[in-house]
Structure 1
């Protein structure tokens, strides 16, 4: 679940994304201050908007909003007040974590891409990476599926040139770190960085 506000562009609306999948066709259902967006195929809610959001959840800056149990409880209350029967199940685990590149092999269908096996502590991910400086045995920053990049891009499961990829190995620039180098390349962390620990800039 990802939560955004954009008062300047959209107004006093809280935009809640429930899944990283994008259904081909959607249906819209409005109840009070809540507009549900459902996948036409199976009727499952994929997102919803809460209008007059500040009177429900208070003031928040524009952009992606950090999820806390308190905020999720407030949003659940808004749904109930507006007669929307939707149970929120939220994963509070960190989405930006320290990963260890266990192995790297060339992508069979793309010269500039590599297939990396990355240990992120709780699981091992296959990530296709195009950075010229990625190597096995590096400690790196991984944006897991569901992470929201500073640019607003949501990380989704993907397939790059026929190879599945779950997550992204990040550069300093993608993480919007101060003094990030302009040249292409992932951010390589200190060798003693703890695998699976949250990365905060």
Structure 2
């Protein structure tokens, strides 16, 4: 997994690359312009910070998530090698916000408001997602933030569990997606059941924004 973000106004010319979730016991080491963050117990890399990154990647935008191309990842791996680190970054070009279809929505065994859904996110791909949306039900099209997604708020979606039940992803509201004019309340964004939003395809934020233009 490779999640990258850039916020020059707050951090300067630093690209943050996240490979794994934070852990309780972690440390960092810096060599040149590269800082490695790692798990002190397992020694696994949690992420890297690349300083002066625009010198070799060019303009990355104002702020927010950066979707790196394979050639950009190769350039970062070269920087890792030059600094004496392992070139371990792997490109991740899969869309993390997709149109999903809730096939089932069953009561959570340890909650009176959570539902355990089986949600199709591709032709042969289904994920279990625990949802607390008050309008959750089977038979609806929704927007799914898959594991590895960075929400507009900066929240990263990791595998997890809610009250002991595994959950891999998040079914999003229009508010969480920060779509213009979306209702500022809880509730999954239910997409029209037509060919505009095909299950398994990347969610088109521009098309999504049109859902609230007349509201």
TM-score (norm. length: structure 2): 0.88
Tell me the residue number matched to 1:45. Answer: 45
Aligned partners of 2:44 and 2:81: how far apart in 1?
18
Write the deviation string for residues 150-179 of structure 1: whole angstroms up to 9, x where unpaired: 000000111111111110001111111111
Q: 1:118, CA displacement in angstroms? A: 0.4
Q: 1:90, CA displacement in angstroms? A: 2.7
Aligned partners of 1:28 and 1:76: how far apart in 2?
18
Does the 8 Å contact 2:148/2:158 carry over to 1?
Answer: yes
Does the 8 Å contact 2:175/2:182 carry over to 1?
Answer: yes
**Correspondence for 1:142 among 132, 135, 144:** 144
Tell me the residue number matched to 1:197. Answer: 201
Where in structure 2 are there 5+ consecutive unaligned residues? 206-215
Q: Give the root-mean-square deviation of aligned CA atoms.
A: 1.4
Q: 1:15, CA displacement in angstroms? A: 0.8
Where in structure 1 are there 5+ consecutive unaligned residues? none
Aligned positions, number = 200
Moved more, 143-152 or 158-167: 158-167
Q: 1:131, CA displacement in angstroms? A: 0.7
Q: What are the residue-to-residue correspondences of 1:24-103 with 2, within 5 Å?
A: 24-60=24-60, 61-103=62-104
Tell me the residue number matched to 2:120. Answer: 119
Q: 1:99, CA displacement in angstroms? A: 0.7
TM-score (norm. length: structure 1): 0.94
Secondary structure in structure 2 of the residue aligned to 1:77: helix
Does 2:110 correspond to 1:109?
yes
Aligned partners of 2:65 and 2:90: how far apart in 1?
18
Aligned partners of 2:102 and 2:13: how far apart in 1?
42
Tell me the residue number matched to 1:164. Answer: 166
Secondary structure in structure 1 of the residue aligned to 2:104: strand
Write the deviation string for residues 111-166 of structure 1: whole angstroms up to 9, x where unpaired: 11111110111421110101111110101110000000000000011111111111
Secondary structure in structure 2 of the residue aligned to 1:184: coil
Does the 8 Å contact 1:56/1:78 carry over to 2?
Answer: no
Aligned partners of 2:151 and 2:204: how far apart in 1?
12
Q: 1:85, CA displacement in angstroms? A: 1.9
Aligned partners of 1:65 and 1:92: how far apart in 2?
11
Secondary structure in structure 1 of the residue aligned to 2:193: coil
